[in-house]
Amino acid sequence: MGIRSTLLWIWKLFDPLFYLFSRLHYIGDVNNKPSVFRVRLTKYKGKKYILSDGTKIDKNDLLLKIHLHNVRIIAEIGKIKNDLKRAKLTYRLVLHSMPALASYLKEHPDEKKIIGIIGITSLDRGVKALGFECFRPKSRIYRFFKKLGQLPIYVLSNSSLRNFQKYHLTYLFLSKETLYSRYSQDSSEK
Whats the size of the chain, residue-wise?
190
| Predicted confidence (pLDDT) per residue in 49-68, tens digit | 999 999 999 999 999 999 88
What is the rounded average pLDDT of the residues 70-78? Answer: 74
- The pLDDT of residue 106 is 95
Task: Give the 3-state secondary structure percentages of the chain, helix then strand then coil, rounded to 5.
Answer: 45, 20, 30
Distances (CA, A) of 114 to 29, 42, 121: 22, 9, 21
Phi-psi category of residue 28: left, alpha or beta, with phi > 0 → left and psi -120 to 50 → alpha: left
Report the predicted TM-score, pTM, of the whole model to 2 decimal places.
0.79
Give the 3-state secondary structure of 100-130: HHHHHHHHCCCCCCEEEEEEEECCCCCCHHH
- The pLDDT of residue 188 is 45
The residues with which 43 forms a beta bridge, in sequence order, are 62
CA distance 98 to 131: 10
The burial class, CB within 10 Å (0-12 / 13-18 / 19+), for 68 is: buried
For residue 190, pLDDT over 50 is answered with no
Contacts of 98 (CB under 8 A, 6+ apart): 130, 131, 179, 182, 183
What is the rounded average pLDDT of the residues 105-130? Answer: 90
**Residue (of 82, 117, 79) closest to 98 by Cα position:** 117
For residue 172, pLDDT over 70 is answered with yes
What is the rounded average pLDDT of the residues 153-161? Answer: 59
Q: Which of 16-20, 40-44, 58-62, 97-101 has the lowest mean pLDDT?
A: 16-20
For residue 170, pLDDT over 70 is answered with yes
Tell me if 86 sits within 8 A of 73, measured CB to CB.
Answer: no
